[in-house]
Amino acid sequence: MKKKNKIAMIATVVVALIINCYATVNKENNVLTSSEKAAGWKLLFDGHSTADWHLYNSKEPFTVWKVRNGELFCDPQDKSGAGDLVSNNKYKDFDLKFDWKLPKGGNSGVFINVLERKDIPAAWASGPEYQLLDSSHQDFAKPNSRSGCLYSFSPQKSPVKSKPADAWNHSEIRQKNGQIEFFLNGVLTAREDLKSDSWKKKIAASHFKAFPEFGKNYSGSISLQDWSTGISFRNIKIKEL
């Protein structure tokens, strides 16, 4: 009897530890620490709601972006109405951090300084893009299209591979006085001065020259790109500088 009681006690302790460990892991995602709160960080996704976001140029309800297991997930199977997701608030000088993962062959991006106007067809027509791309995608062969790039304009400043499909990556975008920096898994991958003449020349030499507002703004909304392959985000947090 004593041996059975001892085994039962050990089993109870093990189960409790597993539950506690699971709860602790969950708490690490989509929450702010006390030090982050004190430093001015704010969550753009709490793991439960899409309340801080809306579809580009739309006030209509949406289902293509949904919350799943604490992730902000763009469902490629949902045909009810696709669209890029846009933050309700606008930001000028900021530090933005987020985790993301793509399926095999996946493609997406995060746009900054996005303008919403009826004469601007999509988020990418105004906002420069932090590229997100799985290494098995056909565009991976293009140096200017890899994860962490300032999409279409420059290759990674320091070569770094994103993690394999369905694994979480960590990214960061900093903007101060029109100067931007991109980081992928802790490595600086892009730097650009949006107020510089060289940036204007780069736009003029690209296909974005057909969109008058592209890359000319130093503030605006943040946008998450809808793509046919699906994309998941978590731990989206921002601090205004």
pLDDT tens digits, 172-226: 999 999 999 999 999 999 999 999 999 999 999 999 999 999 999 999 999 999 9
Structure-token pair, residue 6: 């001892």
Domain that holds residue 11: 1-30
- Kindly compute the dihedral angle of the four CA atoms of residues 204, 206, 211, 214, in this order, to the nearest 10 degrees: -80
Q: Assess whether 15 and 48 both reside in one domain.
A: no
- Answer with the residue of higher pLDDT: 186 or 10: 186
How many Cβ atoms are within 10 Å of 121's Cβ, its own excluded? 12
CB 83 within 8 A of CB 190: no
DSSP state of 104: T
Are residues 1 and 90 both part of a single domain?
no
pLDDT exceeds 50 at position 25? no
Same domain, 175 and 233: yes
**How far apart (Å, rounded) are the C-alpha atoms in residues 207 and 171?**
26
Instruction: Work out how many domains the chain is built from and give that number.
Output: 2
Give the count of alpha carbons within 13 A of 115, CB side only.
15
Instruction: Please list, in sequence order, all residues whose beta carbon lies within 8 angstroms of the beta carbon of residue 8, skipping any fewer than 6 positions away.
Output: none
Largest alpha-carbon pair distance within the chain?
83
Answer yes or no: do 194 and 233 share one domain: yes
Do 99 and 168 lie in one domain? The reply is yes
Residue 26's SS3 state is helix
Smallest CA-to-CA distance from 70 within 34, 6, 27 is with 27
Statement to judge: residues 26 and 103 lie in one domain: no
pTM of structure? 0.88
223 and 152 within one domain: yes
Span of 81-90, 96-105, 216-225 with lowest mean pLDDT: 81-90
111 and 96 in contact (C-beta within 8 Å)?
no
pLDDT at residue number 81 = 75
Residues 70 and 15 in one domain: no
CATH of the domain at 191: 2.60.120.560
Q: What angle do CA 238, 97, 162 make, to 5 degrees?
A: 165
Query: Within this chain, do residues 86 and 8 fall inside the same structural domain, yes or no?
Result: no
Whether residue 14 is predicted with pLDDT greater than 50 in this model: the reply is no
25 and 45 in one domain?
A: no
Ramachandran bin of 114, using left for φ above 0, alpha for ψ from -120 to 50, beta for the remaining angles: beta
Looking at the structure, do residues 89 and 190 belong to the same domain, yes or no? yes
Q: Are 147 and 162 in contact (CB under 8 A)?
A: yes
Provide the pLDDT for residue 176.
98
Residues 14 and 115 in one domain: no
Contacts of 141 (CB under 8 A, 6+ apart): none
